[in-house]
Structure 1
Amino acid sequence: MTQLKVAIFGGDGRMGLLISNQIINDPQFQLVGSFAASSSVNLNVDIGFLIGKGKIGVILQDAAVVEAWLHEHPVDIVIDFSSPEATIKNCSMALNRGIPCVIGTTGISAQNIDRLKSLSEHQLCSCVIASNMLRGVNVFFHVAELIASFTKSWDVEILETHHRNKVDSPSGTALTLGNKIAEKIDAEFNSAAIYGREGKTLRKSSNAEIGFHSIRAGDIIGEHTVLFAGPGERIELTHRAHNREGYAKGSLVAATFLNAHRSEGVIFSMDDVLGLKQI
């Protein structure tokens, strides 16, 4: 069996280490490189030591050497869970070398997503970009869209809860959910989105407002609830993540899919990866 050679950007982050562990335990993949920010205290440490596996021969390197390293080493797929700025810089280098990218970094601006899309098309090198790679979350999106399409006159509120150290609010998953619902209820997302409430302002008409509320507490991995409220009834749809293993597994499912579509020059979503668009 030919193994897929994978390099990870954001290699010593929580997701980077989980994905490294998954790769080491999966004979379909080979971890060939791992990179982190110049400020990382783990630079020059073997990834195996960081995940409790002992030496595996892959050293965490400074992301400043990514371009030169990619020039010298064969890589089939890049998986990126770093930061918005680092993602644009490093994944652009990968795409310019014809290396497809699985991108799970959240908080990337629409403008930079467009930059990646243009580069992907120009280089005929595909990407998967997803705010959440859990299978259940993407089914959750699909069901929420279905409900929204039949309740267009109802009010919509989204509540997301994460651990105290999560930086971005609302979560990328909540924003993706809101965008998908906005499309189904014929709303313009940027004008409809309301982030928290304060004061005595009345709620706007149903499809003119989608409320977002964020909780940051303890070590909660991730929970998302969307509330559809109509006259005399409501629907509440919730997804809870019990651990982070599914995120790592989802990124490798995306990598396998991407390898089969590597030269199409398309930005794929997890809907494409999981076949949800066909349902």
Structure 2
Amino acid sequence: MTLQIGIAGITGRMGQLLSEEVAAAGAVVAGGIGRSGDAEALFSASEVVIDFTNALTAERHAELAARTGRPLVMGSSGLSPAQEAAVAAAARSVPIVYAANFAPGVNLLFALAERMAAALPPEQYDAEIVEMHHRQKVDAPSGTAIGLGRAVARGRGRTLEEVGMESGRDGHTGPRGTGPIGFATLRGGQVVGEHTLLFAAGSEHISLTHRSFDRRVYATGAVRAAQWVIVQPPGLYDMKHVLGMA
């Protein structure tokens, strides 16, 4: 039977790419909504829903996924801790893939970041993350940058909240602290997405960089996640599970 995929955010740039990639994967677009629309009807008509809207709809869509029993692939960024908690609560009833980034290369970057952080002690290697996106992006740092920070913290046996974030440095800030992860945000033009993780020590610097040139890579990854999550048990997943890296 052909997989019926619903798209929340179908009128945006990503929504159009998702529609094309759903068809390319041999699935069918069951329906879609834009900034407004009947989300409950969309979930009811679909076997799985891909959500690329925004953080404000995250709780509502997660709750609908749990209530209708429809798996959810969520790519919205900038979720607050409370919104992330709501998504995690819904995932106890239905499988949800919630990812900071759906590009395979970025998820490999997350894995490398964690391994490198485990090998490079924070007392000697400061971790700094620099990201740049198009001028229309409304949240900062990006979800992918936060994901990188979490990977670094995880590699060091802690959470990002525990190690702390240093961002928006301005004026006389004093010397850099030992342990916190630095974030720098750039916005301009139509950059799809660039992320660099830098480990800086007194004797060497090591950097990893990922550049996205086409948003289609996110759409392709999201459709792949939708095909994967439809047969999974309830739980909160990310792209490392979809890619077989978990």
Which band: TM-score by shorter chain? Answer: over 0.9
Partner of 1:173: 144
Pair 1:219 & 2:219 matched: no
RMSD between superposed Cα atoms in Å: 1.5
What is the rounded CA distance, in whole Å, between the counterparts of 1:273 and 1:24 in structure 2?
Answer: 20
**1:10-159 to 2 correspondence within 5 Å?**
10-27=9-26, 29-38=27-36, 62=37, 65-68=38-41, 70-71=43-44, 73=45, 75-121=46-92, 123=93, 125-152=94-121, 153=123, 154-159=125-130
What is the deviation of 1:69? 5.1
Look up the SS of the partner of 2:91 in the other structure. helix
What is the rounded CA distance, in whole Å, between the counterparts of 2:63 and 2:29 in structure 1?
Answer: 20
Look up the SS of the partner of 1:11 in the other structure. coil
Choose the corresponding residue for 1:184, options 155, 159, 166: 155
**What is the identity, as a one-letter code, of the residue corresponding to 1:14?**
R
Deviations 1:210-250 (A, max 9, x none): 11000001011100001101121110110001111110100
- Rg bigger for which structure? 1
Contact 1:95 1:101 in 2 (8 A): no
Partner of 1:6: 5
Contact 1:196 1:211 in 2 (8 A): no
**What is the identity, as a one-letter code, of the residue corresponding to 1:104?**
G
Contact 1:8 1:35 in 2 (8 A): yes
State the TM-score, normalizing by the size of structure 2: 0.93
Look up the SS of the partner of 1:89 in the other structure. helix
What is the rounded CA distance, in whole Å, between the counterparts of 2:42 and 2:13 in structure 1?
Answer: 23
What is the rounded CA distance, in whole Å, between the counterparts of 1:276 and 1:69 in structure 2?
Answer: 31
Structure ranking higher on relative contact order (CA contacts 8 Å, 6+ apart): 2
What is the rounded CA distance, in whole Å, between the counterparts of 2:133 and 2:214 in structure 1?
Answer: 12
**What is the identity, as a one-letter code, of the residue corresponding to 1:177?**
L
What is the rounded CA distance, in whole Å, between the counterparts of 1:68 and 1:14 in structure 2?
Answer: 22
Look up the SS of the partner of 1:145 in the other structure. helix
CA change 1:168–1:108 in 2 (3 A) is same
What is the deviation of 1:185? 2.3
Choose the corresponding residue for 1:239, options 207, 210, 227: 210
CA change 1:69–1:129 in 2 (3 A) is closer
What is the rounded CA distance, in whole Å, between the counterparts of 1:236 and 1:97 in structure 2?
Answer: 44
State the TM-score, normalizing by the size of structure 1: 0.83
Contact 2:141 2:185 in 1 (8 A): yes
Which consecutive unaligned segments of at least 5 residues does structure 1 have?
Answer: 39-61
What is the rounded CA distance, in whole Å, between the counterparts of 1:149 and 1:242 in structure 2?
Answer: 30
Look up the SS of the partner of 1:176 in the other structure. helix
**What is the identity, as a one-letter code, of the residue corresponding to 2:80?**
S
**What is the identity, as a one-letter code, of the residue corresponding to 1:115?**
A
What is the deviation of 1:145? 1.1
What is the rounded CA distance, in whole Å, between the counterparts of 2:104 and 2:160 in structure 1?
Answer: 25
Look up the SS of the partner of 2:171 in the other structure. coil
Which consecutive unaligned segments of at least 5 residues does structure 2 have?
Answer: none
Contact 1:162 1:219 in 2 (8 A): yes
Percent of counterpart pairs with the same letter? 35
What is the deviation of 1:76? 1.0
